[in-house]
Amino acid sequence: MKKNQKTKVISIVNQKGGTGKTTTAVNLAKALELLGYKVLLVDFDPQGSLSYYLDIEDASPNIADVLLGEANIEDALLQVSGMHVLPSNTELADLEISLANYDARESLLKEYLSRIQENYDYIIIDCSPSLSLLTVNALVASHHIIIPIPMEVLSFHGLHLIKDTVQAVKETLNPSLNILGILVVKYSPVRRITTQLLTAIQEEFSDTLTFKTKIRLDTRLIESPAYGNNIFETAPNSKGAEDYLDFAKEIIQLTKK
């Protein structure tokens, strides 16, 4: 672990699907690993998008088994491309129903991650595309959240709701939680809509940081899950690889404290 570096837990959050959450989680995590940090990736989506992205099928035990107390968290960890991964599958959807009967159900993920947290510099959580009890668990376990926003007309829909949810969790369950920033993805400066949407983000959400780094529109990023690996191994010289490496450097600077 880097000297004087405390573990930073970061959730990638957007309640809409197709906004680049999983792509960002995987490639930010790998970029941090390439820069010399120890990283844990947590798939906290019942659809198992992150596990699918990394070609992990039907992992057992998985995050659902851990949270049900049926497996040790250490036994559920997989080594993938220099990182540890805590995989998921559709069992997580059933778990969400069961959580309703748990005491301190909003803090379950935090409790289990605390057992291994000191082994990592960064823990990156890929959240489900909803503001569910699972997402609340991720927010309670996190220090920061990143909100990826694609440069598409419907990209703003629900952003206020995310901010309201974060504020509610901050006030009641996790005072240290903050929105680290909004990450612009599928960025293409030659498209007029891109300029319009970027201006709208900066005006409407002026109290929230928009990261300097923007993830450019890149077919290599879109194709990467088909190869079951991150952009640095499938297309190391691509725009996507360059952008996520720059983004990781920006995150390191912002989380130095």
Domain contains 190: yes
Long-range contacts of 188-193 (CB under 8 A, 24+ apart): 188/151, 188/216, 188/217, 191/151, 193/151, 193/152, 193/153
With the CA atoms of 154, 193, 202 and 248 taken in that order, what torsion angle do they form, in degrees rounded to the nearest 10? Answer: 90
**What pLDDT was estimated at residue 122?**
98
Domain contains 116: yes
Strand ranges of the sheet holding 39-44, from the earlier edge strand across to the other edge: 78-80, 83-86, 39-44, 122-127, 8-12, 144-150, 178-185
Domain contains 197: yes
Name the stretches of the chain with pLDDT < 70. 1-5, 257
Among 215, 54, 207, which residue's Cα sits nearest to residue 124?
54
Domain contains 1: no
Domain contains 163: yes
Domain contains 138: yes
State how many domains the chain has.
1
Domain that holds residue 45: 8-254
The DSSP code for 156 is G
**What pLDDT was estimated at residue 184?**
95
Domain contains 133: yes
Domain contains 34: yes
Cβ atoms of residues 179 and 205 within 8 Å: no
Q: What is the CATH number of the domain that holds 66?
A: 3.40.50.300
The 10s digit of each residue's pLDDT in 197-225 is: 888 888 888 899 999 999 999 999 988 88
**What pLDDT was estimated at residue 2?**
54
The DSSP code for 248 is H
